[in-house]
Each structure stands twice: as C-alpha cells, then as structure tokens.
Structure 1
Amino acid sequence: MDVLRLTIALLMMGFSALSAYVDTWSIQVSPEVRTIEGYPAVLPCSFTHPTHTLHSSMNVVWRLGHTRTSTVLFRCSSLNGSQQCETGPDQDQRYRLEGNHREHDLTLRISSTALQDNGRYYCGVELPDQPHGSYENKMGTRLRVEAPPRILSLSIAGSVDTGLKALCHVQGSPLPDVQWTGLDEVLDSESEAAPLPQEAPDRHRTTSQLLDIQPGGQYTCTASNPLGNDQATVYILHPSPEMSKNHSSRDDALTVLLLLGIALAVKFLLFMGGLGGLFIKWHVGSKSLSQSSK
C-alpha cells in the first residue's frame, strides 16, 4: 500500500513538473559570440512555448541593450500563420533572420561587422493577438568584434621654443599596446584612453604621446594586439638656414621699426615741448606789452 501511494505521488510530481514546463516560455541564446571586423556574426536564439499557446501572428525583435535607451536593430512580422517574416521599409539590410521563426529559431545574422557592433544583444517574441504576449531573453548575447591595430594618424604638436611632442592615434580590439622607438631604442611615452561608456565605439581607440622630442630625430609608433601590429614613422627636420635667417631678419626689422617709432615719439614730444615754450614766451610777451601800454 505504501509503495502504491509512493508511486502515485511520484507520478503526480512528474505530471506537475511537465505541466510547469509546458506552461512556461523559454528562450535560449549563446552567452557570447566572437567575430573579426568585416566578417559576419551569427547570434543564435531559439524558444519554446506552452503547448496550448496559439501564435499564428508573431513579431521577432532583436535589440541592442536592455534599458530604456536600447535600440531596436531588427524587427519582422509574420501574420496569419505565414512562413515569411516581413521587415519594414526602413530595416537595415545588414541584419536578417537566419533561422525559421515557425520552427522556433530566431537566429540573427549581421553582415560586415564593425567595431561599432560591439555590445549585448537581446532577442524576443511578441504575440499581437495575446495580452502581455511579449517574451525576451534576460541575459542577452555579448557580441565581441575584434580588429587588428590600425594607426589612424601620427602628428607633431608644439614648437621648438615651447617643446615638441608626437601624437599617435590608434584603433583596435582588444585595445592595442603602443610603443615608441627612436634609433633602435625604446622610448618612454604616455598613453591615454578617453573615459567613455562601456558600449561606446571609441573605447577601442587610444592616443599615445611622446614628449620632449628633438629636431633631427626619427620616431616610430608601433601598435600591437593579438591580431597583429601596425607601424608609422615620423621624421623631424632641423630648421633650414634660410628659415633661421628669415626669422633673424624679421626680428631685426621689428627692432628697427620699434627704435624708429621710439625716435619719432621723442621728436614729437620735443616738438610739442618747443611749441609749449613758444606759447609761454608769446603769452608772457603779450602780457608785458599790455602792462607797458597802461
């Protein structure tokens, strides 16, 4: 009798578990997908649903981000049991449904990925004919787009008088390491990555600066990460004699003009002083004549 009761209890527990399973929506995704810049990325997503759920019409939605500021990247609609999931006229053609939504496969394909595609993606299903019929994966899939280093620019800032520095702007994922060399020796430098939000595209860029560089030097910037390296070299020429002569001539000309201006100012003051003296003499003479006539 006890064995029979135990068997019945186990069967009831099994039916309860099965009922709980079939009455629950479930969406499965891959935690992370990696690709290389320029290549496609495939984000797997599949779902199960309660057996009694009718979903003749459904929408498939893929979002980037999981907050109020998330962006809808892909959306298609399948109405009246159609095997086709139609997108809107404004849909970015880089995104397309790779799987068959009628077979519970919502896999998304992104073609020609770029560093800007890095982020966490969420797939979901919407049932227009059911109240509150919206289901979305809560964990999301982390897409990592990797790229070899690329030197965006190499420039010189400052002047000989105030000090020269070299600036090397690089890009890559993972973020490249930057090293400076000059005449077969490694030079100390400073690298700075802007404090940007985690999903911002510019977080894959950094700027390295080399201070106190000198005319006549040759400086090489090398950026590297596990996918490769990139290199650029800058040469700093000495000021030419003509430039130095012209610079000296300009200084001499400014000095002459300044001295000439001072001389003219002094002459003007002396001239005004002379006029003042004549005016005083005239005034005194006029006063004397006036008194004599009286």
Structure 2
Amino acid sequence: MDIRHLTLMLFLIGFSASSAYDDTWTIQVSPEVRTIEGYPAVLPCSFTHPTHTLHSSMNVVWRLGHARTSTVLFRCSSLNGSQQCETGPDQDQRYRLEGNHREHDLTLRISSTGLQDSGRYYCSVELPDQLHANYENKMGTRLRVEAPPRILSLSIGGSADTRLKALCQVQGSPLPDVQWTGLDEVLDAVNEAAPRSQEAPDRHKTTSQLLDIQPGGQYTCTASNPLGNDQATVYILPPSPEMSQINNTRHDTLTVPLLLGLALALKLLLFLGGLGVLFIKSQVGSKNQDHSNE
C-alpha cells in the first residue's frame, strides 16, 4: 500500500468519526454542586450540537426531578436568532440564566438557597422548529444545600401521672447528631430515624425523645454537625406545695369515707357477734334450767 492510499484511508476514517460526532447532541453538567443555606448556587451546563443543525429558535429548561415527578423551575425562549432568552411573567426571580445560550452555555444561578432547594436538577434544550427535539443530560446535577444545626422546638410531653418525656426537633444538613445531658451526665435517648430518600421533604429534620424524665430535673438538647452546633435547655418544675396539699386533700377525701365504711362494717360485725353470743348463752341457760327441773 503506497502513501497516497494510506493517507486517503486515514482521511476517510477521520471524516467518518467527525461526522458521527457532529450528528450527536451532548449536554455536559457537573455531577454535584454544594452550597451553604442562604448563599447562591451555580449549576454549570453546556451543550454541543451537529454543525449542520439550525437552531435559530430554542427553549432553555431547567427542572428539579425527573420524568413525571419533575417541576419546571426555569424556562426561557430565544426566537429567530435573538441573543436574549426571554422568561415568562410567572418566572421565579430566584432563578436566572448565568450563561449565554448562544455560546452553548446554559448555566443556572439560584440565589438565596434554602434546604428545600436540595435535589437533582436537569437542564435541557428544546427546538421549537423540530418535532420532538429535546436534548437533556440524563444524569443531572445533584445540588446539596448544607446548613448548621438549628433546634426548631424543645417541648415536654406526657404527664406526671404517667411518664414525662422531652422532645427535641432539630434541622440541619448534614443531618445533625443529637445528644442529651442532665447534670453533666450524658443520657440515653431515642432518635427518630431520618428519611432514607434524598427526595423526602423532611430529610433534613429529626426528632429525639428523652424518656422518663423527672420533675425538678434540668435537661439539655445539643445538636451538632460539621458546620456547628445548637443547644437548648428545659427545666421541669417540681410539684408546688399547694399542688401537694391538693393531692393530699384528694387522697384524704377518698380515704376518710373508706375508713368510715370499714369502721361501720366492723361495728356491724361486732354487733352481730354480740347477738350471737347472747343467743348461745340463752340457749345454754335454757338447757341448764330444764335439767334442774328434772
């Protein structure tokens, strides 16, 4: 094989590879983006397309979630080669296109993120002039919004007549660890299992229960994760003397009738016993008198 045939073969192979690449739409995204609650998040997305494709009109769409459960968060349209991608009147202003779609950059910016923004995002390109022309990266981008622990509530449940328990509800990402202490002693608690699914609405919240707490005790709930910690303390008042007197009065109110009833029953028994003794004596006396007469 001479040099001309070899050169022609390499050219054809290169042309075929280039043609195959040019006939493919590709969407490039970052697998994961992290930010802290209250700060913005930037989700990179870019695309390539076949060189012969005309896309003077296009729609840019960002969704949270996939398939039927997805929610459209951002949508803009660029018609007739316009350099502007116009959004609708109902577009949430927290979302805006950071990149230039005409330069194949669909990067999305989310301002003032919250824990509810965590999830998997998908960017896509729609071509209105072509039927069913919708190109999307199937893996998406995982957005993780992190937040320091925050104690949402600290409350007391149950009653003194049954069992008192303390409830501490905390929030944070990563999900905080919860520890209870009382008088500088670490106490055992029951922690509610966190939702396993990353899409669960309460995946950043958990509740810890401290059982069998006692009046007059002081209990502290501490929540911590790598971003910090939060702490709250509850003090359970002991029963007041007035309440103790009321309880004693109630007890006496129940006890006195019971004692009176027992006393009356005892007197009745003694009375009946006395009658029985008199009856027996009278019977014995009658028998003795009969024998005397004989």
- TM-score band w.r.t. shorter chain: 0.7 to 0.9
- Alpha-carbon shift at residue 139 of structure 1 (Å): 1.0
Letter in 2 for 1:17: A
CA distance 1:243–1:58, change in 2 (3 Å) = same
- Alpha-carbon shift at residue 196 of structure 1 (Å): 6.3
Letter in 2 for 1:168: C
Instruction: State the secondary structure of the residue aligned to 1:203.
Output: coil
CA distance 1:257–1:13, change in 2 (3 Å) = farther
CA distance 1:3–1:114, change in 2 (3 Å) = same
TM-score calculated relative to the size of structure 1? 0.84
Instruction: State the secondary structure of the residue aligned to 1:68.
Output: helix
Q: Contact (CA 8 Å) 2:195, 2:202: kept in 1 or not? A: no
Residue in 1 that maps onto 2:137: 137
Partner Cα separation in structure 1 for residue 61 and residue 236 of structure 2: 55
Partner Cα separation in structure 2 for residue 254 and residue 11 of structure 1: 107
Judge which range, 159-168 or 240-249, deviates more.
240-249
Partner Cα separation in structure 2 for residue 228 and residue 194 of structure 1: 19
Residue in 2 that maps onto 1:205: 205
Q: Residue by residue, what CA displacement relative to the aligned partner does 1:97-141 show, whole Å, maximum 9, x if unpaired? A: 111111111000001101111100000000001122111111100
Partner Cα separation in structure 2 for residue 254 and residue 51 of structure 1: 95
- Check if 1:7 corresponds to 2:11: no
Partner Cα separation in structure 2 for residue 194 and residue 24 of structure 1: 42
Letter in 2 for 1:108: L
Alignment map for 1:211-250 (pairs within 5 Å)? 211-250=211-250
CA distance 1:195–1:31, change in 2 (3 Å) = closer
Q: Contact (CA 8 Å) 1:193, 1:205: kept in 2 or not? A: no
- Alpha-carbon shift at residue 38 of structure 1 (Å): 0.5
Letter in 2 for 1:160: A
Alignment map for 1:103-118 (pairs within 5 Å)? 103-118=103-118
Instruction: State the secondary structure of the residue aligned to 1:116.
Output: helix
Gaps of at least 5 residues in structure 2 are 260-294
- Alpha-carbon shift at residue 248 of structure 1 (Å): 3.3
Partner Cα separation in structure 1 for residue 253 and residue 38 of structure 2: 59
Residue in 1 that maps onto 2:188: 188
- Check if 1:53 corresponds to 2:45: no
Q: Residue by residue, what CA displacement relative to the aligned partner does 1:127-178 show, whole Å, maximum 9, x if unpaired? A: 0011221111111000000000000001111112211111100000000000
Report the count of equivalent residues.
Answer: 260
Instruction: State the secondary structure of the residue aligned to 2:169.
Output: strand
Letter in 2 for 1:61: V
Q: Residue by residue, what CA displacement relative to the aligned partner does 1:176-234 show, whole Å, maximum 9, x if unpaired? A: 00001111111111101354643123111001111111111111000000000000001
Partner Cα separation in structure 1 for residue 127 and residue 213 of structure 2: 65
Partner Cα separation in structure 2 for residue 95 and residue 115 of structure 1: 16
Gaps of at least 5 residues in structure 1 are 260-294
Residue in 2 that maps onto 1:179: 179
Alignment map for 1:111-130 (pairs within 5 Å)? 111-130=111-130
TM-score calculated relative to the size of structure 2? 0.84
Q: Contact (CA 8 Å) 1:116, 1:200: kept in 2 or not? A: no
Q: Contact (CA 8 Å) 2:125, 2:136: kept in 1 or not? A: yes
Partner Cα separation in structure 1 for residue 148 and residue 201 of structure 2: 15
Q: Residue by residue, what CA displacement relative to the aligned partner does 1:52-111 show, whole Å, maximum 9, x if unpaired? A: 111111100000111211111100011111111111111111111111111111000001
Residue in 1 that maps onto 2:84: 84
- Alpha-carbon shift at residue 251 of structure 1 (Å): 5.1
Partner Cα separation in structure 1 for residue 67 and residue 257 of structure 2: 68
Instruction: State the secondary structure of the residue aligned to 1:99.
Output: coil
Instruction: State the secondary structure of the residue aligned to 2:237.
Output: coil
Identity %: 86
Letter in 1 for 2:93: Q
Q: Contact (CA 8 Å) 2:61, 2:75: kept in 1 or not? A: yes
